């Protein structure tokens, strides 16, 4: 019969005991997680402020062009800034996929691809659209939305808070800007269809070595028709996000007010207030 010592030696040799995490290893893991969080915030701050500056340049160039030469000169004045600011939004799809932000991929991809189609597939590809008033209405709606949005997220990532007025603008401007932008986009695609069909641009004819054909004219019509099911779903999603964000902000404000009243009434110190409000 094995003694207790022999039994313990055999067990310890055959199956190592589980390692209990030490305080130093826990601290190391916490430090790594903290560094990753800091790097994420630094990157997102940099990204949002850079794109914010891009949209401010688009807005300023558009205003100057409108005042000096009218809406016909708007696109020529903003083209370079617009292509940069909107193309940079491709990164937002990647941000959503890898989890840097909480925006769902299912809503991010349609918005970004739709914008890219408009600036590269319509405006940049067909100069016939450049002097149309729909370009101005489109850019006004985009600029209001994007300047507000990137400023909001830039402040949130950089400073950890946003003013209440900016929060309201972030979740309210789409109520007007989204319908105006949608009508402008559909209008521009419709206007360019005759030029698209006549030029045959971006069409792949048979026969070819890939044994595949595509017609940009019909693809654009499909894109235009796609607004019918996509727009209501996107609008409902944004309305739900608005209600959620504003309700959360109101709850936080009410809690802070109640806490401030309680502290004032009982005479707690400012240090206690900071601790309780966390």
The whole-number pLDDT of residue 275 equals 41
Please tell me the predicted confidence (pLDDT) of residue 38: 86
Upper half-sphere CA count for residue 60 (Cβ side, 13 Å): 8
* Contact indicator for 78, 142 with CB cutoff of 8 Å: no
Q: What is the reported pLDDT for 278?
A: 47
213: left (phi > 0), else alpha (psi -120 to 50), else beta? beta
Q: Which residues of the chain have pLDDT under 70?
A: 1-35, 252-278
Q: What is the pLDDT of residue 214?
A: 85
Picking from 59, 248, 109, 85, the residue whose alpha carbon sits closest to that of residue 171 is 248
Distance CA 190, CA 194 (A): 8
pTM: 0.79
Reduced to 3 states (helix: H, G, I; strand: E, B; else coil), residue 131 is coil
Q: How many CB atoms lie within 10 A of CB 171?
A: 21
CB burial of 27-61 (b: ≥16 within 10 Å; e: otherwise) equals eeeeeeeeeeeeeeeeebbebbbebbbbbbbbbeb
């Amino acid at each position: 019969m094995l003694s207790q010592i022999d039994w313990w030696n055999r067990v310890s040799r055959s199956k190592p005991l589980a390692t209990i995490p030490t305080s130093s290893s826990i601290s190391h893991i916490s430090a790594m997680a903290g560094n990753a969080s800091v790097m994420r915030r630094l990157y997102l701050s940099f990204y949002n402020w850079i794109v914010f500056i891009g949209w401010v340049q688009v807005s300023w160039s558009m205003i100057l062009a409108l005042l000096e030469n009218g809406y016909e000169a708007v696109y020529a004045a903003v083209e370079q800034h617009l292509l940069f600011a909107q193309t940079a939004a491709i990164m937002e799809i990647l941000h959503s996929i890898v989890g840097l932000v909480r925006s769902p991929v299912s809503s991010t991809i349609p918005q970004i691809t739709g914008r890219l189609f408009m600036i590269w597939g319509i405006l940049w590809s067909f100069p016939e659209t450049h002097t149309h008033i729909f370009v101005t209405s489109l850019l006004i709606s985009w600029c209001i939305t994007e300047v507000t949005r990137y400023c909001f997220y830039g402040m949130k990532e950089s400073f950890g808070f946003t003013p209440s007025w900016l929060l309201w603008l972030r979740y309210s401007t789409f109520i007007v800007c989204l319908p105006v932008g949608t009508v402008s986009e559909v209008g521009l695609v419709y206007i360019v269809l005759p030029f698209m069909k006549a030029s045959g641009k971006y069409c792949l004819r048979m026969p070819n070595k890939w044994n595949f054909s595509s017609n940009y004219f019909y693809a654009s019509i499909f894109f235009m028709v796609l607004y019918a099911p996509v727009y209501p779903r996107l609008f409902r999603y944004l309305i739900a996000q608005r209600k959620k964000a504003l309700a959360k902000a109101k709850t936080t404000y009410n809690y802070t007010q109640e806490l401030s009243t309680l502290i004032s009434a009982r005479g707690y110190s400012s240090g206690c207030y900071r601790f309780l409000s966390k």
